[in-house]
Amino acid sequence: MPIVHIDLIAGRSQEQLKNLVKDVTDAVSKNTGAPEEHVHVILSEMATNRYSVGGVLKSDEK
């Protein structure tokens, strides 16, 4: 049972998230031989004020 964790910044549409999990599921199934119904994808969305790059919060970027 493959489990895939994806961390991303919040803000994507429901359609984008649906497409993402479908594409990831397809790729994992294809490359591992696991049936799609056994592939688990966990999305963790972060607020922009909870993620930084180079010491700058994404919420502070212009």
* Cα 53 to Cα 34: distance, rounded to the nearest angstrom: 35
* Cα 38 to Cα 41: distance, rounded to the nearest angstrom: 10
Q: Which of 2, 34, 51, 58 is catalytic?
A: 2
Establish whether 35 is a catalytic residue: no
27 contacts 35 by C-beta, under 8 angstroms: no
Where in the sequence numbering do the catalytic residues fall? 2
